[in-house]
Amino acid sequence: MRRLLLLSNMRPKRMQKLKLAANSGQNPGFDFLQECWNDDPALQIVIKKLLAKFPQWGIAVVDGVLIEREE
């Protein structure tokens, strides 16, 4: 129960950062995306759309897991 409350408090801040990334094209960072992906399944849809919009970030979803392309 406490975890759900914590996630619901974090979601608006995370959504704001994801929306900023969508509007600016600035990669919010793999670690941030992975944290959102793992902690909050509701944000997975938003992240999938971002990754489709910005393939140049080099991040993809493979078998339900975020992966970062190595340089």
Q: How confident is the model at residue 16 (pLDDT cuts 50, 70, 90)?
A: very high
- High-pLDDT (> 90) share of the chain, %: 76
Residues 6+ apart with CB under 8 A from 42: 11
CB 33 within 8 A of CB 47: yes
State how far the Cα of 48 lies from the Cα of 53, in Å rounded to an integer: 9
pLDDT, averaged across the chain: 90
pLDDT tens digit sequence for 19-51: 999 999 999 999 999 999 998 888 999 999 999
Q: Please give the sequence-ordered ranges of beta strands (E in DSSP) within 1-71, or none if there are none.
A: 59-62, 65-68
pTM: 0.86
Q: Taking a C-beta distance cutoff of 8 angstroms, is the pair 51, 59 a contact?
A: yes
Q: What is the pLDDT of residues 2-14, one digit of tens each?
A: 666 666 688 999 9
